[in-house]
Structure 1
């Protein structure tokens, strides 16, 4: 193949947006080398196009998920607001509707806050205020806040918490958010038991939150920390799929490590805290 034929074939490939490559048979070694380089560029172009299309699909899916999650509480708010105008509705019913509207508005606020927080994390705009903090104290405070809801749902709590742990260098608000998101996830999707442990392992503190569930499949695990990921069996009007994504970004931003595992019907998150206060 000479240069003229190569140019003609290259124009045809570009016009067709084809995944074919230029033929490499040429008696001229320098021409064949050039054709190899061009084929490499064609391969790179195709991979970039594939990656772009994947990002476009992901963006469309994310927009659809955001729209769904925002629309659900908004629809309820609009519906109950219209009912309040009905003269046939009793005063007692109106108070009930107001409570529902307030609850849905709080859900909406939580969703919007999650979207905003994730955008700040991904843009590295969140400044951590690092200080020595007690993981045990923060964990217990968050547990107390969730305890009534968890036990009221009939879920059994199992605790295995080591008390005399050294402080870690972390952001207090970030750690509180991490534990809050973990318990929200376990509470929403747990069936009958939640197990929480926190102890020293190999000179590091490991926090584990485990719950039994029938809503997660093995094939879901590789996406469990992805933005907006929710298994079809997990999606509700109040689940954005951002909770664990935010947890992962906060943990890694604080220098920690996080993993997720699924064994039979037991889903578990492990967080390893490495920045312990020495001395």
Structure 2
């Protein structure tokens, strides 16, 4: 009987010690979590007790910390991107506005001829139109980025859409003395998308190719497995790896002088529209060609 009492006392002591130690571990978890929250460190929770329940608790806490850190990193990135966007937009707004104001002041000068007035008005009008394009592009991009922006999706024959947009750009190709290579299959290809958005995507890609092509542009539509691939490529000069990594960023222009070739929003708008329709877009360099791929889901005819 005495042995049984001693054995039970030992068991009670061990259980009491274990509960005491587990309590200390829980207190340690609480203190570590409080320190992490207060110091905004990326330190993780550590434990010194081999207990499955406490290990699972620590694992879930660490997972929550990872999510919080990632969320904080995303927030900082969004804030930095917003600041950069505002800075870029301010730059691009200031340039035409300053020019417009300057030419209006010239018009107020005494002794200027009618020819000079007409010239100043033409320049001011040109600057005002470039300002209007910038504001329209930025407004469209802000709409695309909004969570409640919805596209009117329908079944589209992408062959016909592509053919029409290319035809509409014929004069621009001739203006650059470029005869594009066009490869569109005779078989009709169908995707689910919004017609005006698909037209805008193709037009933006063609506009970019026409602006920056050295001497050649290739346009093709092809099927790979269950996807339709729109491929638009052009010869280039002075593209870098940084350009490839940033080409779809807002206001990014490979022309570092920002010399009036565009707003730097066209490809950002294109990316937003493609992704809104469940597609994907990417780019790479192959030889002397800069290539942009748009991938859409293929529907049966």
> 1:44 maps to what in 2?
67
Alignment partner of 1:143 out of 148, 161, 169: 169
Q: Judging changes above 3 Å, is the alpha-carbon distance between structure 1 residues 139 and 48 closer, same or farther for their aligned structure 2 residues? A: closer
Does the CA contact (< 8 Å) of 2:228 and 2:295 recur in 1?
Answer: yes
Asked if 1:68 is matched to 2:68, the reply is no
Q: What is the TM-score normalised by the length of structure 1?
A: 0.79
- Paired residues for 1:171-182 under 5 Å: 171-182=194-205
Q: Any idea what SS the aligned residue of 1:157 has?
A: coil
Give me the whole-angstrom Cα distance separating, in 2, the residues matched to 1:171 and 1:32.
50
Larger C-alpha radius of gyration, 1 or 2? Answer: 2
For structure 2, which runs of at least 5 residues remain unmatched after alignment?
A: 1-20
Alignment partner of 1:157 out of 179, 200, 204: 179
Asked if 1:125 is matched to 2:186, the reply is no
Give me the whole-angstrom Cα distance separating, in 2, the residues matched to 1:132 and 1:10.
54
Does the CA contact (< 8 Å) of 2:45 and 2:62 recur in 1?
Answer: yes
Q: Judging changes above 3 Å, is the alpha-carbon distance between structure 1 residues 15 and 104 closer, same or farther for their aligned structure 2 residues? A: same
For structure 1, which runs of at least 5 residues remain unmatched after alignment?
A: none
Does the CA contact (< 8 Å) of 1:24 and 1:36 recur in 2?
Answer: no
> 2:123 maps to what in 1?
100
CA-CA distance at 1:49 after TM superposition: 1.7
Does the CA contact (< 8 Å) of 1:69 and 1:237 recur in 2?
Answer: no
Does the CA contact (< 8 Å) of 1:70 and 1:108 recur in 2?
Answer: yes
> 1:216 maps to what in 2?
239
What per-residue deviation string (whole Å, max 9, x for no partner) do you get for residues 40-91 of structure 1?
A: 3333322222221121111111111221222221121111111111114322
Asked if 1:11 is matched to 2:11, the reply is no
State the superposition RMSD in angstroms.
3.3
Q: What is the TM-score normalised by the length of structure 2?
A: 0.74
Give me the whole-angstrom Cα distance separating, in 2, the residues matched to 1:181 and 1:24.
55
Count of equivalent residues:
273
Q: Judging changes above 3 Å, is the alpha-carbon distance between structure 1 residues 226 and 64 closer, same or farther for their aligned structure 2 residues? A: same
